[in-house]
Amino acid sequence: MEDSRIALPIGTTLDRYIKKKQDEFQFATGELSQLLRDIALAGKVVNREINKAGLINIIGAIGTQNVQGEDQQKLDVLANIRFTRALSKGGEACAVISEEDDEIVDLNNNGRYVIAIDPLDGSSNIDVNVSIGTIFSVFRRVTPVGSPIQETDVLQKGAEQVAAGYLLYGSSTMLVYTTGHGVNGFTYEPSLGEYFLSHPDMSIPEDGKVYSINEGSYTSFPKPVKEYIEFCKQNNFSARYIGSLVADFHRNLLKGGIYIYPQTAKDPNGKLRLMYECNALAFIIEQAGGLASTGRQRVLDIDPKELHERVPFFVGSKNMVEKAISLFK
């Protein structure tokens, strides 16, 4: 699916990759390229902090809650600072919305891009040395450059994303992103401080045998979700649930599978946030040949109403998501 003009070999550095891809677009100003570099750099810093988390005093809760009433972990707050700082230095970003900030964070009225970010995804896994991640979406602002940021710049449909990606801090650290021309994955080599292309032109198998859902909430799932789980069991599918969205998503992207976070009694709209969790992964999965839905609507078509809005999320292999959606009809 990647633009066939230049196929770059495995081992290409992220910097070289970004530069080559930018050269393919006439009139590209390089600002989006710089943004991606800024995010990749902040990812290195966060990666370093995560790697020594057990040795220094940065695990555990900080004693505050975010706007959604969730306990903030020290690394949530630290990662938020690292990414926001990296994005503010370059000047390309006019605003950031983050899981960890109640309101829009204004950066630079002369910037062209809005970033939505989950600085650290999978917070409950920080303290136990299990994979966690960062998720980001990039939008082009709609109001004129130079003017103050408006809510319309931020509350755009996922279909308007110009780039999206995630960092996975796993057994190795990876950056996976799309600019709408396929999905590419880069593995970080810490001793060299470089990301290298390791997973070119990623595509998700059309079908899979893995389902990822927190079945502890089974009794409050809607009937179609219960039916889908039954279908998985009848077909001897494997259950795999890490509890870090990025990590579950990444495994399913590589191997085939479906991730579901449905409506529950506790979270009547699901738990995951549209603007900085679902949109980015929906863009990536569609670019990789899969699907993302709320069960009733394509995620990328949702008109957002609030910064921290939640939606039910079904994402993964095309045939699996189609089957799950069919049960809602």
How far separated are the first and last CA of the chain, in Å rounded? Answer: 31
CB 140 within 8 A of CB 154: no
Within positions 108 to 127, which residues make up the interface with Mn ion, using CB under 5 A?
Answer: 118, 120-121
Nearest to 187 by CA among 208, 206, 173: 173
Is the Cβ of residue 31 or residue 71 nearer to Mn ion in the bound state? 71
User: What does 161 interact with, of ligand AHG, Mn ion, none (CB < 5 to 8 A by kind)?
Assistant: none
Element (H, E) at 293: strand 291-293
Is the Cβ of residue 214 or residue 220 nearer to ligand AHG in the bound state? 214
How far is the C-alpha of 117 from the C-alpha of 107, rounded, in Å? 14
- Select the residue interacting with Mn ion from 2, 38, 92, 99 (CB under 5 A): 99
Is the Cβ of residue 118 or residue 286 nearer to ligand AHG in the bound state? 118
CB 316 within 8 A of CB 285: yes
How far is the C-alpha of 287 from the C-alpha of 290, rounded, in Å? 7
User: What does 271 interact with, of ligand AHG, Mn ion, none (CB < 5 to 8 A by kind)?
Assistant: ligand AHG
User: What does 243 interact with, of Mn ion, ligand AHG, none (CB < 5 to 8 A by kind)?
Assistant: ligand AHG
**DSSP secondary structure of 61-108:** EEEEE-TTSPEEEHHHHHHHHHHHHHHHHHS-EEEEEETT-SS-EE--
| Footprint of ligand AHG (CB under 6 A) | 70, 99, 118, 121-123, 214, 243-245, 271
Element (H, E) at 139: strand 132-140
Q: Minimum distance from CB of 239 to ligand AHG (Å)?
A: 13
Q: Minimum distance from CB of 307 to ligand AHG (Å)?
A: 15
Is the Cβ of residue 38 or residue 118 nearer to Mn ion in the bound state? 118
Is the Cβ of residue 17 or residue 136 nearer to Mn ion in the bound state? 136
Q: Minimum distance from CB of 266 to ligand AHG (Å)?
A: 8
